[in-house]
Structure 1
Amino acid sequence: MSAHHHSPAAEDAAEAMNRNYRYQRHIYDLTRKYYLLGRDRLIASIKPGKDDAILEIGCGTGRNLVAVARRYPQSPLYGFDISTAMLETARRSLARRGLARIALAQADATRFEAGEIGRPGFERIYISYTLSMIPDWRAVLERAVAGLTPGGRLLIVDFGQQERLPAWFKRLLFAWLARYHVHPIAALPAALAELARHHGCRLDCRSIHRGYAVYAELERPR
């Protein structure tokens, strides 16, 4: 979805995100460093080929993009978010680190087209702890697969169901996340399996850190 023709629903979502993160964004990365497990594993697994373009869906303050840019200095990098407040923080953060080469855009993850972000398709797309913040997360997955080039890979990490952790821990974590409109998705592995079947993708989906997170890679056929 381009920045020029937003629907009222998308504008409401953007405004809600801006309200939620207007002040929090300044300490966002510091507070999340300790509980967004699996992000660094995801970044290490991107492994782009030469000139492969990488897109982050829901780039927030740009923390992941900075790490990806450092690890893969040759790759063209793109990111988008629905929140203008987050993008403002991301732009400043990237400029401060001399990473203005990263292209940022405002878009709605449930209806974006790759072409509006700057390319007809991306060799790597990743989504890190973003799906659980979006009610229509299934639409995000569909758009992401549509944005991949043939042979491209979609990498995902998000909250799991804490199945091998104490019940009290899950109760506390889920209650805390709900305050920030984050709702871990129990149906995510099944939805990814269905998506992979539908599009003929290869899927590797696993529970990591004793169920704390779900990690998945989906590869489009060539």
Structure 2
Amino acid sequence: MSGAVETARLMDAVYRHQRHFYDVTRKYYLLGRDHLIRELKPPAGGDVLELGCGTGRNLIAAAKLYPDARFYGLDISRHMLETAKRNIENAGLSDRITLIEGDAANPSATEGFGVPGFDRVYYSYTLSMIPIWREALQAGASRLKGDGRIHVVDFGQQQGLPRWFAKLLFSWLKSFHVTPRAGLEAELEAMASQSEHGLRFRRLYRGYADYAELTRN
């Protein structure tokens, strides 16, 4: 069985029931998502891709904020995509948001959208759940337009918070197969040095979350 198939089955098992109350609970600890959405600022008529779109919550919020852009979401969990599709239909945004099932670490997974390149590619609390997260970053970068940007928000290393809090949080996240990526900043720095992009990296909420942008120099 391939790694992608194993991951898909795991994510379906994790979210088979959680998807029904996911957004209600996650708003209290997936901090920085709205900050990322405000920073997207796609050009008029631009194409925006979310890798690991989950329930569609971010896509809906971004589509409302940027009515002149088109949005695309990929997720490996069939159950999450079923929920996302329903939420998008209820929001009346099916004409501007397109979904596809696939592995975020596979560069060809988004070819089904028929979009040659994206103005923005973003990851919102996704990389901490993808075993081969570096490959997922590279896959997104490979689908970026020359003047496009990558945006990331995810769990940080809790540098400014009490050690007991970090230990408790990391232990709890592990039960959901979530691993905050200590090497995220270094990986993005390496990507920036190998391309014509610069890196903006910020620690939000005393290191609770990391926010980053790969931007054209």
* Same fold at TM > 0.5: yes
SS class of match (2:107): coil
Equivalent position of 1:3 in the other structure: none
Shift, 1:112, TM fit: 2.9
The aligned counterpart of 2:61 is 67
Q: Within 5 Å, give how 1:28-47 maps onto structure 2.
A: 28-47=22-41
Q: Which amino acid aligns with 2:193?
A: R
Q: Deviations for 1:164-190, whole angstroms, at most 9, x for unmatched residues?
A: 001111011101100000000111101
Q: Tell me, what secondary structure is at the counterpart of 2:148? A: strand
Match of 2:90 among 88, 96, 105: 96
Asked if structure 2 preserves the Cα contact closer than 8 Å seen for 1:115 and 1:121, the reply is no
Which residue of structure 1 lines up, in the alignment, with residue 10 of structure 2?
A: 16
**Structure 1 position 115, deviation (Å):** 2.5
In the alignment, structure 1 residue 216 sits paired with structure 2 residue 212: yes
Q: Quote the residue 2:101 is aligned against.
A: 106
The letter for the 1-side match of 2:145 is: T
Kept in 1: contact 2:157–2:166 (CA 8 A): yes
Are the counterparts in 2 of residues 162 and 210 from structure 1 also a CA contact under 8 Å? yes
Once the two structures are superposed, residues 130-187 of structure 1 have per-residue CA deviations (whole angstroms, 9 ceiling, x without a partner) of 0000111000111111111011000000000000001111011101100000000111
The aligned length equals 215
Q: Look up the SS of the partner of 1:185 in the other structure.
A: coil
**What is the aligned-residue identity percentage?**
51
Structure 2 unaligned segments of length 5 or more: list them.
Answer: none
Once residues 199 and 141 of structure 1 are traced to their aligned partners in structure 2, the CA distance between those partners, rounded to angstroms, is: 13
TM-score between both structures, scaled by the size of structure 2:
0.96
Which residue is equivalent to 1:135?
131
1:202 Cα deviation (Å)? 1.2
Bigger shift: residues 9-18 or 138-147: 9-18
Look up the match of 1:4: none
8 Å contact from structure 1 (residues 149, 220) kept in 2: no
Contact 2:107 2:142 in 1 (8 A): no
Q: Residue 80 of structure 2 aligns with which residue?
A: 86
Select 1:205's aligned residue among 197, 201, 205: 201
Structure 1 residue 26 and structure 2 residue 17: aligned? no
Distance 1:171 1:208 in 2: 18
Gaps of 5+ in 1: 1-6
Cα contact 1:145–1:220 (8 A) shared by 2: no
Tell me the equivalent position of 1:192. Answer: 188
Conserved 8 A contact 2:63-2:69:
yes
For residues 97-176 of structure 1, what are the structure 2 equivalents within 5 Å?
97-101=91-95, 102-113=97-108, 114-176=110-172
Q: Distance in 2 between matches of 1:73 and 1:33?
A: 23
TM superposition score normalised by structure 1: 0.94
